[in-house]
Amino acid sequence: MKRIVILASGNGSLAQAIIDAVTSEALEAKIVGIITDQPHAFVIERARQAHLESYIIPMHSDRDFWNSELEKLIAALNPDLVVSAGFMRILAPSITEKFRIINSHPALLPAFPGAHAVRDALAAGVSETGTTIHWVDAGVDTGEVIAQEKVAVLPTDDEETLHERIKIAERGLIVATIASLLPTLEPVRG
């Protein structure tokens, strides 16, 4: 069975979608850990409720130390796939080159990379945006696109309402993408 590590920084709604898919056996995988950089992130409670191990690696003033700690923990968990599900940190090349990592982004990349994608889409006046699942490289949302789903921008949308609709699409797309990727991944055993 393929091993998944989830990286998350906040509420964990994307992580919950993956947890639910594994629990219902829609995903044939095992979540071997959830890692967060935020000691009070609700994703920790989601992990506890699902009887999953969670790990906290708070951001450190010495970024190299933090990168090293994160890399060591991921390596110890020995995942076949790492899923960045709302993890609001740029990963070091030492991590992105060592592990297979996908990320969910709330825009149709290459449009609107970065932390303010929904706000940027609204400011640009686009009629549609959406969500992208992509491979993570050392850049900011620059990795190869795996899957995308469009979401219309409504005239009444503000950042919150649009982001909520994107999140609904994101949850389905990340699970479907993981399901399509898992059979293609050769197991990584250290």
What tens digit of pLDDT does each residue of 112-144 get? 999 999 999 999 999 999 999 999 998 999 999
C-alpha 31/C-alpha 4 separation (Å) is 5
DSSP 127-153: SEEEEEEEE--SSSS-SPEEEEEEEEP
In a domain, 189, yes or no: no
134 given a catalytic annotation:
no
Residue 163 phi, psi dihedral angles, 5° rounding: -60, -40
Q: Can you say how many angstroms the Cα of residue 183 is from the centroid of all Cα atoms in its chain?
A: 19
Residue 36 phi, psi dihedral angles, 5° rounding: -130, 155
Domain that holds residue 167: 2-184
In a domain, 190, yes or no: no
Residue 102 is encoded by which pair of tokens?
A: 């996908």
In a domain, 158, yes or no: yes
Which of 105, 116, 134, 163 is labelled catalytic?
105
How confident is the model at residue 186, as a pLDDT? 80
Give the up-direction half-sphere exposure of residue 61: CA atoms within 13 A in the CB hemisphere.
0
C-alpha 96/C-alpha 22 separation (Å) is 24
- The DSSP code for 92 is P
SS3 60: coil
Residue-wise pLDDT tens digits, 20-65: 999 999 999 999 999 999 999 999 999 999 999 999 999 989 999 9
Q: Which residue has the higher pLDDT, 122 or 187?
A: 122
C-alpha 81/C-alpha 5 separation (Å) is 7
Domain count, the chain: 1
pTM for the model stands at 0.95
Tell me the CATH number at 31. 3.40.50.170
SS3 2: strand
Q: Answer whether the bond into residue 79 is a cis peptide, omega within 30°.
A: no
